[in-house]
Amino acid sequence: IFTEGSTATAGDSLLRPDLAYEAIRLARTLAALMPDEPEPNGLLALCELTATRFPARTGPDGEAVLLADQDRRRWDRSAIRRGMAALDRAAALGAAGLGPYGLQAAIAGCHASAPSVPETDWERIVLLYEALGRVAPSPVVELNRAVAVAMAQGPQQALAIVDHLVATDRLAGSHLLPSVRGELLGRLGRTSEARAELELAARLCRNARERAVLLRKAAALA
């Protein structure tokens, strides 16, 4: 429910706050019903720390605002405090360390506590994604790790991760893979390839707001 609320799969709206906040309500209830379990608190932390960016994620006309362009003064500081408190509870309860939701919440916490994209602790985010890949492996986790590697170590290392996902056909039909690959190719100066990847991502994307961002990026490379 929260995933659909925080980035709508299809349609003309990027966010569906009604769904997202209902998911947070359910997560709070679950954490209260299972006070000795770490993962409900990890889930609650993840939802709260992700929702903190909602006020800055869209512009006046509902257009998507990328993380690097968001006014962090508009982020919900109360949600950050609640999320970090839930993350602390998850860490205290988890004798074997954070679980999948807790690790994702820790990643969201890195973003929430950073003053800007360049000042984000990308090395720590890479380590957290590596840990997440061990406990809950998936191609999306690998793709997100590639994004963090690009920020921490450069696009060439990240492209190797993405190209492996392409070679193994693990995200076929998803717009996420060509969108990340297009970004990396653009940073490497391979503009014609980057534009083709971003245009492919736009064709695969079912959300109109996300599609518009991808097309703007592709056009900027023309």
In 3D, which of 208, 221, 218 has the Cα closest to residue 58?
208
Q: Tens digit of pLDDT for each residue in 84-142?
A: 999 999 999 988 889 999 999 999 999 999 999 999 999 999 999 999 999 999 999 99
Report the sign of the C-alpha dihedral through residues 158, 164, 166, 172, in that order: negative
Alpha-carbon distance of 17 to 1, in angstroms, equals: 10
**Which domains, from first to last, does the chain contain?**
1-132 (no CATH), 138-222 (1.25.40.10)
Long-range contacts of 190-193 (CB under 8 A, 24+ apart): 191/221, 192/221
Digits of tens for pLDDT over the chain (222 positions)?
Answer: 999 999 988 888 999 999 999 999 999 999 999 999 999 999 999 999 999 999 999 999 999 999 999 999 999 999 999 999 999 999 999 888 899 999 999 999 999 999 999 999 999 999 999 999 999 999 999 999 999 999 999 999 999 999 999 999 989 999 999 999 999 999 999 999 999 999 999 999 999 999 999 999 999 997
User: The tokens of 59 are what?
Assistant: 């512009």
Alpha-carbon distance of 98 to 76, in angstroms, equals: 24
